[in-house]
Each structure stands twice: as structure tokens, then as C-alpha cells.
Amino acid sequence: MGAASSYHRRMRHTAPLLALLLAGPLGGTPAQGQHDTLAAQVDTVMAEWARPGSPGCAVGVVRDGGLVLAKGYGLADLEHGVPISPASVFDIASTSKQFTAATIVLLAQAGKLSLDDDVRRFVPELPRYDEAITIRHLLHHTSGLRDYTDLMALAGWQTEDWTTAEQALAMIVRQKELNFSPGAQYLYSNTGFFLLSVIAARAGGKPFLDLARERIFEPLGMASTHFHADHRVPVKDRAVGYAPREGAWSVSMSDWEQTGDGSVLTTIEDLTRWVRNFDDPKVGGKALVDELQRKGRLTSGEEIDYAEGLRHATYRGVATVGHNGSWAGYRSSLLRFPSERTAVIVLCNAETAEAGTIARNVADVALAGRLGPAAVSSPEPSPSPATGRPQPPVPGPAERTAISGRYRSEELDTEIQVVARDDGLVLRIRDRDSSLVPLKADEFTVDDPLPLTVAVTRDAARKVTGLTLTCGCDGFRTLRLVRAP
């Protein structure tokens, strides 16, 4: 009872802070009646995350450069009962990518690099592929490089493990194949933006986080924002990430220390300053804003919706530019409506929070009367009756024995085991076992740590020689493993 009472007292105490915030340097206060109506409507949207004892979200609505609504729902720290506020600091995961892109473009403006430079100019340790990969390919996710986060997951690393930038770079450098020729396709890849942080540091002559701080965060007054490159450094006012486990909330944090693809820690208040820079550019001028919003183009000439750390879309007939983020127990969304000079910011510390959906729901009330008609959802189709299709055969004891063994990948720098059991086969990565579900002879599926199709390869004598992994993810198309002696 004490924790809940403390929570409600703290939430009441945020009202004077909010009034000061809205009247402060982030913008003028809207008419009180308008603010109260909007706040009440957003409260309804956020009711699920206003329950005592639950993590939740901070929500901001920016209009004409001013923060017209900023509220916290739920707790930033369940252990100590600290409520979420507009000043709570969240890991915004992939929403960070726009700051990486901005740092790169600012370095290009300063003549430190060109967006059309071969990436190997700054990262010569990368393999020399058949075609050059450019910085612009990295910005638009058209490089073909495999996603290092999925590769590291396949090698057995979990989000709570400590991994370094050096380990990520080593994983990337070991990859002998691309998913496709550079520029031929779009495929979202964290590798590209991580490499952009490496390129920025080498071109700019100082650590990436210092470049971003000096060129973006400090000039815009984003005093609570930084790229977090050392998991041991404490952060004032940080919201703890959570995920549900066995009917309760469990801490879900990450000790991965790579930057560029994520790892910005920031607040609703600071992101408002960043949003304002799109309408009234102080950092980088209009040239930066235009470049960040420039859509990518494939070698075929086809234009894609992904710009540079930003994604173009349409919501209820109105053009949007934004990005979502998802990592460990954090979810985020920064959604701008340029024609309306309005943005919605949602930062959450719960794995189950759908920040993008929340942002659109808040936009529904913040832009009431200014959006087109809402899409009518179609009813879910009824499940088809069972067809009586025969189930794939489970390998017999002899086949299970033949397939079981150790499989080596030089690209992952690890071994994966297939273990025979009485009821089938399991894929073992480090100490984690996942059942291999038969699809057909010599082909299986597995869901953990990634959604994979696992095909057994054999020589002319039908002896098992390896495995071919195909990922149902953005990370990589195929990866080959050789049976260890």
C-alpha cells in the first residue's frame, strides 16, 4: 500500500512541474481548456500504463516547436516506486539512428567525408566484396551487410551479456558474403549504422559520442542526452527497462556497448528540442534537414521510403516522418507530421508497450479534425479446417545419430551442436537448447534464438557435411556451417 500511495502522491506533484515546463523555454502554454481536453484524451489512450506498480511511458506532443503536452504514466523504477516524468531518461534504441545519420551528414558538411565514399576508406579491415559499399548505402540500409545483432544472437550472445564495439566489428569483418549486391535491395540492418559510428570516429578524429555531443546535443541544449557506450556508467533519472516473466515484471536491460544503431539515452524534453530543429534548423541548417529526409534509391532507380535514419510513411492521409525503437525492455517512437508542424514522442520502459501504435493513437486526439478518415479494420478470417495433410516424418534413430554433431562457422567464430534425443533433435547454442521441428527430410525449423530454417547438407555418399541456415529475419539470408571433425 505504501508504494502505491507514494506513486499517487508523486504523480500529483508532477502537475506544477508540467505547468512550468509548458510555460518554459520549450514553448508557450496552449489555452488551458485546450490543454486540459488534450490531457484528458491522452490519459484515456494511456490508461493501460497508468496502473500502480507497472512500468509505462512518457508521452509528449510538440506543436509549432512547443511542448504542448508532456506526461508520464507508470513507474520508471519499480523497486523504488519512482514515477515516469517528462524528464525521465530512456534508451530509445533504433530511434537513435537519426542522430547517427545527422552526425555523419555534419561531418560531410565539414569536409571530413563524402556520403559517396567507399566504406573501406575508413574501415579498411572490411572484406573487399565484388562491389564497393558506400556510406550512402549504410544510411539507407541498402548495403547488403548482414545484421551483426542477429549474428551475435546466433553465436549465443543475449541482450543482458556484456558485448563491446570491438566484438561487433570483429563479427562484421568475418562475414565473407553479403545478402545482396550493394544498392540492389533494401534490408534493414543495424550493422550499417554501427559502422557509421566507427566511420564518424575515424573521420572526425575523436570518439563518436563526443562528436554527437559537440555537434548536436550541446548546441541544441539537449543536456540529458548522450550515446551510452559504457554500461557501467550510472545515468541520473534513468528509467529501468522491464519485461513480463511468469506473471510479474522482470528487469530487462542490455549491456551491449555498440553505438550508432542505438544506445541514445534521452528524454521527452530533449527530443522536443530535436524536433524543433526540423522546423527551425539551428544545427546543420536546412541542408541537414533536407539530407536526413532524402529518400534512398536503389540501383534500379526505385525510390524507397527509408531516408537517413528516418522513415517516410502516411497515416490517415497525412505524410509522416519518424522512426521506432525496440531493444531489451525499451520501446520508443518519434512520429512527426511535417505539414501539421506536430510531433508525437512516446518513450516506454516495458517490452510489451507498442510505442508506434501508442504514438498513432495519441496523434488521433492531438490532430483531431486534421487527419483523414481512420482505416476500417477487416474482421479476422475464420481459421481454415484441418486438411488432413500428413505430418513431416520425424527422423528415426539412425538419422538422428547421423545428423547429430558439432558444426563450425568461421564467420560466427563459434560452434553449434545438433543433439539427438529420444523424441527428436535439438539445436544447442552454448547452453540453450531449442527443438528442431521437421519440415521434410533433412529440413527443420527452429524459433530460438532466431526464426531459422535449418537444412542438412550431404555429399554424394549421403554423408552429412554441414548445415545451411536461412533466417526469417532481416539479419541474414543464408549462413553455412561445416561439420566439425
Question: Among 176, 208, 190, which residue's Cα sits nearest to residue 99?
Answer: 208
Residue 248 CB: number of other CB atoms within 10 A? 9
Name residue 18's amino acid: L
Residue owning grid cell 497515416: 315
Q: What is the pLDDT of residue 374?
A: 87
Q: What's the pLDDT at 309?
A: 98
DSSP 142: -
Reported as a single tens digit per residue, the pLDDT across 38-58 is 999 999 999 999 999 999 999
Distances (CA, A) of 90 to 72, 87, 325, 327: 12, 9, 11, 11
Residue with cell 550472445: 157
Please list the ranges in the chain whose pLDDT falls under 50. Answer: 1-24
The answer to whether 199 touches 119, Cβ cutoff 8 Å, is: yes
Burial class (CB in 10 A: 0-12, 13-18, 19+), 393: exposed
Which residue carries 525510390 as its cell? 303
The pLDDT, as a whole number, for residue 17 is 38
Q: Rounded to an integer, what distance in angstroms lies between the CA atom of residue 124 and that of residue 122?
A: 6
Provide the pLDDT for residue 27: 59
The rounded distance, in Å, linking the Cα atoms of 39 and 337 is 19
Q: 137 φ, ψ to 5°?
A: -60, -40
Q: How far apart are CA 292 and CA 105, in angstroms?
A: 8
| Alpha-carbon gap, residue 265 to 257, rounded angstroms | 13
DSSP per-residue string spanning 110-135 = TTS--TTSBGGGT-TTS---SSPPBH
Where in the chain do CATH 2.40.128.50 domains reside?
Answer: 397-483
Buried b (16+ CB within 10 A) or exposed e, 312-339: beebbebebbbbbbbbbbbbbbbbbbbe
C-beta separation of 460 from 477 below 8 A: no
Q: Look up residue 352 and give its amino acid.
A: T
Is the bond preceding residue 373 a cis peptide, omega within 30 degrees?
no
Q: Does domain 91-366 fall into CATH 3.40.710.10?
A: yes
DSSP one-letter code for 341: T
pLDDT, one tens digit per residue, over 156-196 is 888 888 999 999 999 999 999 999 999 999 999 999 999 99
Residue 301: how many CB atoms within 10 A of its CB?
Answer: 6
Please state whether beta strands 443-446 and 432-440 pair in parallel, antiparallel, or not at all (unpaired): antiparallel
Q: How far apart are the C-alpha atoms of 467 and 457, rounded to whole Å?
A: 6
Inter-residue contact 59 to 362 (CB < 8 Å):
yes
d(CA 212, CA 215) in angstroms, rounded, equals 5
Report the distance separating Cα 323 and Cα 301, nearest Å.
Answer: 24
Q: Is 16 helix (H, G, I), strand (E, B) or coil?
A: helix
Count of residues making up the chain = 485
Start-end of CATH 3.40.710.10 domains in the chain:
91-366
Angle between helices 165-173 and 190-204 (to 10 degrees): 110
Pairing of strands 318-327, 226-227: unpaired
Q: Are 196 and 123 in contact (CB under 8 A)?
A: no
- Cβ atoms of 178 and 475 within 8 Å: the answer is no
* Parallel, antiparallel or unpaired: strands 478-483 and 405-409: antiparallel
| Torsion angles phi and psi, residue 458, rounded to 5 | -135, 160
CATH of 397-483, one of 2.40.128.50, 1.20.120.430, 2.130.10.10, 1.10.260.40: 2.40.128.50
Answer yes or no: are the C-beta atoms of 153 and 206 closer than 8 Å: no
